[in-house]
Amino acid sequence: MKQLSLILLTIAAAALLAASAHAEGRIVYTKKSLYRNISVVEDAEKLCMGFATRRRQLKNQSCRLKRYPERLALEYTRLTFAGLLLNPRPERIFVAGLGGGSIPSALHRLYPDAHIDVAEIDPAVVDVAERFFEFETSEGLVVHEMDARVYVRHARKKGLRYDYILLDAFNADYIPEHLMTREFLEECRELLSEGGVLVANTFSTSRLYGSEAVTYEAAFGWILSFRGPGDNRIIVTARSPEPPDSELLYLRAESFPVDLHSVGVDIVKTANRLTPKDWSDSARVLTDEYAPANLLRGFD
């Protein structure tokens, strides 16, 4: 009986996915992996990868523009480059979560001499990125098919250090709970170089919005919050004990040493997305013992 119920729920999820996708474009591929239901949807302007679960379908995880494939299509992906305001020339980069590979590919184009490691737990996501989104690995861009927290621990044991860490690992619901705790973030902090920066993609619509913020503050001491026009929030922090002066960030954006327009990033516009603190210090810190990720997007 349980098996029949699971089959029916899976069929229902697929039907909802198909209905929504057809409203916006044409489904060109679907795949049920060990971790999620993956879809590739095409319309006249772009190709997008989306994840779905039995409970709900989320918006696109990654998109590629047909006419300008080298440019980042989604606003949140462009906003993740806010961390470059603190470290404009990273030499070693770590990205947790691949999606369609748009962010690591853009970083690779901007910094061809940098080494980029990507941790992606789902081989099916890697396959889709390569087959449909023209994602390619190279000597300087390496994908490790493993859980991001496992990778971080292995990297620390090897003595690796990164100048830029981007946390963008999502399942179909939200960030996996073990990748949003104080303990994990403290491990990431130890992986940063002296001038290293950490960037995290989160949401601005969340029942634990404040908890996420104070958790990053507990691990790093301070954070900067950048809000996009949608429901994404980008958290930026660093190994340095004090946050940079906001005026310095604006000045750096005005004379940024790398041309980011080639990948569709307006770094001045990005700097202007910096927002004042809007969370309470009384929010509860997320830990390995307390990380109710099911609440973060309003789930019951």
Give the active site residue among 117, 122, 163, 168.
168
Cβ atoms of 256 and 267 within 8 Å: the answer is yes
Pairing of strands 224-227, 192-203: unpaired
Largest CA distance in the chain: 64
Burial class (CB in 10 A: 0-12, 13-18, 19+), 3: exposed
Tell me whether residue 288 is one of the annotated catalytic residues.
no
Cβ atoms of 95 and 166 within 8 Å: the answer is yes
**CA gap 165, 151 in Å, rounded:** 12
Cβ atoms of 200 and 235 within 8 Å: the answer is yes
Of 276, 288, 61, the C-alpha closest to 185 is 288
Burial class (CB in 10 A: 0-12, 13-18, 19+), 114: middle
Q: How far is CA 172 from CA 13, 80, 237, in A?
A: 12, 20, 26
**238: β partners:** 197
Per-residue tokens: 104: 């690591």
Contacts of residue 191, defined as CB under 8 A and 6 or more positions apart, other chains included, come to: 94, 152, 155, 156, 160, 161, 162, 165
**167: β partners:** 96, 200
Burial class (CB in 10 A: 0-12, 13-18, 19+), 273: middle
Residues recognised as catalytic: 168
